[in-house]
Amino acid sequence: MGIKTVIGMAGLGIAGGVAFILSGAFNVSATDRHWDITTSLLELVRERSVEVRSKDIQDPPLGDLQMVSNGAKNYAAMCAQCHLAPGMEPTELNQGLYPQPPVFHQQREKHDKYDKHDPAETFWAIKHGFKMTGMPAWGEFHTDEQLWELVAFLDVVEGMRPEYYQGLVGEGGHTHVQNDQDAVPHIDSHN
Ligand code: HEC
């Protein structure tokens, strides 16, 4: 194939692309789902981008109940309207956004396009957010310490009982860890 043919074909390709864009044929509506191949590509881009950018982040110990409880309170105020929380009904934001915000307490691994249980990656995602998804960059207005508290909460929220979540979030709720069978800490709330 001659160089002129190659340039000619590339030119036609670009012209076709421009014509497609200008024609308005692409549907930007959030109710028009991507093709599977587009979704897979976008997910791969996000996965690699987060992996590479978070690889040098050192995660602190996350098991502290005070951290989890601080994280839960901020989560309830800033995240639950999109990501939902134990015992909560779906919201308009959760259902209307596309891509849809993952519901961490029930189906974390279904959204596991990159390793969600890697705290450094979760921290990076919360700090920087994601372009063109609605996921905000929380690092703009919060300290790293507050962001790690959110990571500590997300680390234990999967399968959490609604009463336990309420205990963490609710004022005056008094929480303590008990080694009961399902290993989920037990709450005493004195309302
Ligand atoms: C306005 C809605 C909205 C709010 C508020 C929001 N998020 Fe998100 N979040 C999203 C969306 C949408 C995605 C999915 C992005 C995607 O699929 O690429 C997302 C993705 C994430 C991810 C990556 C998970 C994954 O599966 O890749 C984490 C972690 C996360 N959010 C944490 C939080 C935390 C913590 C807060 C509160 C401080 C929060 N989000 C608030 C919309 C929101």
185, two tokens: 């800490």
The ligand 1 atom nearest the CA atom of 151: 35
**Biggest alpha carbon–alpha carbon distance for the chain:** 81
CB contact at 8 A, 130 and 46: yes
Predicted local distance difference test score (pLDDT) of residue 107: 67
pLDDT < 50 positions in the chain: 111-114, 172-191
Triad 37, 109, 186: Cα angle to 5°: 160
The ligand 1 atom nearest the CA atom of 99: 17
Predicted local distance difference test score (pLDDT) of residue 190: 43
Predicted local distance difference test score (pLDDT) of residue 106: 86
CB contact at 8 A, 101 and 34: no
Give 183 Cα–ligand 1 centroid separation in angstroms. 27
Amino acid identity, position 161: R
Name the residue at shortest CA distance from atom 17 of ligand 1: 99
- Cα–Cα nearest to 46, from 168, 164, 161, 131: 131
Predicted local distance difference test score (pLDDT) of residue 114: 43
The ligand 1 atom nearest the CA atom of 50: 27
For 119, what's the count of Cα atoms within 13 Å in the CB-facing half-sphere? 18
Q: Which of the listed residues 82, 109, 158 should we mutate to test ligand 1's pocket, taking the one with most ligand atoms within 8 A of CB? A: 82
156 Cβ below 6 A of ligand 1: no
- Cα–Cα nearest to 73, from 182, 175, 159: 175
Q: Which residue has the tokens 């860890």?
A: 177
Name the residue at shortest CA distance from atom 15 of ligand 1: 133
Name the residue at shortest CA distance from atom 42 of ligand 1: 135
Predicted local distance difference test score (pLDDT) of residue 38: 93
Q: Which of the listed residues 135, 147, 155 should we mutate to test ligand 1's pocket, taking the one with most ligand atoms within 8 A of CB? A: 135
Predicted local distance difference test score (pLDDT) of residue 52: 95
155 Cβ partners below 8 Å, 6+ apart?
62, 68, 117, 119, 122
78 Cβ below 6 A of ligand 1: yes
Q: What's the Cα-to-Cα distance from 138 to each of 33, 130, 188, rounded to whole Å?
A: 27, 11, 31
CB contact at 8 A, 73 and 149: no
Predicted local distance difference test score (pLDDT) of residue 182: 40
Rounded CA-CA distance 37/126 in Å is: 26
Rounded CA-CA distance 148/68 in Å is: 9
